[in-house]
């Protein structure tokens, strides 16, 4: 299988990439994948597709949100989200729903839709699930449907910045050869039923999501604001990289401005205009997200977690955490621990 595109790993001379902050945010989202459906449709057909975190819990573990995608192996098909006009999708194209928005797919979207979960069949030998729809007489459409799970800890800035649907033509962009070759490889693995194909798809799904986010950020209008738009501004991107790389540092806006090469006022104005909040307010929210992640997945003492995210005392950390999450950190941790088994 061809590896990821070279620009995923390229770094400038200072050893830091403007995408470091993006990688950091996605790590905290704790992406997990493991549910795949090998789908085959023949006209006429129409499917309403959406899946709940509870339905995916046996495969993904406890998750708060589902990111759903379809890779069309052989098309064409149509996709409709809400009241928006339908779009046509052909073989070799991907469409993704970062917030699992209900949508229709089909050859004829005027048909009464079948509900996808009612037609998914589990494999008797533990292989991939399948879904088949249509009378088998019309033109055939083949697709791979995949699901990524993620945790939502206080509002992930990347997930909040994405639209309801991302359309990713595989043939376009610098990573086109990688995406096309890798998905052809994965489709062959699925068709042959080879062992380990689910692991291949799981890793591919995570890489696919990162690539979709990167392409969306690259195509944003020049006047667009938001976290992803900040990655294109060299000063804001550098500030985000520094804040994420040294979250425990006692930052001031003066310090941050000197590091990125702007005055305090110029950086503050530029950061707030692009990201939507001042640098230190953003840093506080990010520190609390990191702390919530650590509270959820470890039993480390509160003082150690507080120090790791830049608070010089447990008391100051507890006050900030309660303002952000509505509960003291010890109570929040206990409730998160009690809720996790219920999602399985």
Q: Which two tokens stand for residue 197?
A: 């194909």
Residue 342: its pLDDT value, please? Answer: 43
Q: Would you list the domain boundaries of the chain?
A: 6-218, 228-342
Question: What's the Cα-to-Cα distance from 105 to each of 55, 89, 156, rounded to whole Å?
Answer: 20, 10, 28
Q: How far apart are CA 299 and CA 147, in angstroms?
A: 29
Predicted TM-score of the model (pTM): 0.77
- In the predicted structure, residue 55 carries a pLDDT above the cut 80: no
Considering the four listed CATH numbers 3.40.50.970, 1.10.150.120, 3.40.640.10, 2.60.120.10, the one that applies to the domain covering 6-218 is 2.60.120.10
pLDDT digits (tens, 9 = 90+) for 219-270: 888 888 999 999 889 999 999 999 999 999 999 999 999 999 999 999 999 9
Question: Looking at the domain 228-342, which fold is it?
Answer: Arc Repressor Mutant, subunit A (1.10.10)
- Statement: residue 12 has pLDDT above 60: no
Residue 261's pLDDT is 96
DSSP secondary structure of 157-208:
HHHHHS-S-EEEETTSSTTHHHHHHHHHHHHHHHHHT-TTHHHHHHHHHHHH
Residue 6, pLDDT above cutoff 60: no
Q: Would 6-218 and 228-342 be classified into the same CATH topology? A: no
CB of 343 closer than 8 Å to CB of 54: yes
d(CA 304, CA 316): 13
pLDDT digits (tens, 9 = 90+) for 274-291: 999 999 999 999 999 999
Mean pLDDT of the chain: 82
Predicted pLDDT at 15? 37
So what's the pLDDT on residue 158? 87
């Amino acid at each position: 299988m061809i590896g990821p595109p070279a620009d995923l790993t390229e770094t400038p001379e200072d050893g830091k990439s403007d995408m470091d902050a993006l990688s950091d945010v996605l790590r905290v989202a704790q992406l997990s994948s493991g549910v795949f459906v090998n789908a085959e449709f023949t006209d006429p057909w129409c499917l309403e597709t959406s899946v709940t975190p509870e339905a995916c819990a046996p495969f993904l573990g406890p998750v708060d949100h589902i990111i759903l995608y379809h890779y069309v192996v052989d098309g064409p098909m149509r996709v409709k989200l809400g009241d928006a006009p339908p779009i046509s999708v052909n073989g070799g194209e991907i469409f993704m729903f970062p917030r699992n928005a209900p949508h229709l797919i089909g050859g004829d979207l005027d048909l009464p839709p079948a509900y996808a979960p009612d037609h998914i069949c589990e494999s008797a030998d533990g292989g991939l699930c399948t879904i088949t729809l249509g009378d088998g007489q019309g033109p055939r459409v083949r697709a791979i449907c995949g699901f990524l799970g993620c945790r939502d800890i206080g509002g992930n800035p990347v997930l909040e910045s994405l639209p309801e649907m991302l359309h990713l033509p595989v043939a376009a962009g610098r990573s086109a050869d990688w995406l096309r070759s890798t998905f052809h490889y994965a489709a062959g693995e699925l068709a042959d039923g080879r062992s380990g194909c689910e692991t291949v798809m799981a890793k591919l799904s995570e890489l696919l999501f990162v690539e979709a986010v990167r392409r969306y950020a690259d195509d944003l209008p020049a006047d667009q604001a938001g976290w992803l738009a900040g990655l294109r501004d060299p000063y804001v991107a550098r500030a985000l990289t520094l804040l994420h790389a040294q979250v425990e540092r006692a930052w001031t806006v003066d310090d941050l401005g000197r590091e990125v090469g702007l005055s305090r006022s110029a950086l503050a104005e530029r950061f707030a205009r692009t990201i939507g909040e001042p640098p230190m307010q953003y840093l506080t929210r990010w520190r609390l997200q990191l702390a919530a992640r650590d509270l959820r997945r470890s039993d480390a003492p509160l003082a150690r977690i507080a120090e790791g995210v830049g608070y010089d005392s447990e008391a100051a950390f507890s006050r900030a955490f309660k303002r952000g999450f509505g509960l003291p950190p010890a109570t929040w941790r206990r409730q998160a621990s009690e809720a996790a088994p219920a999602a399985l």
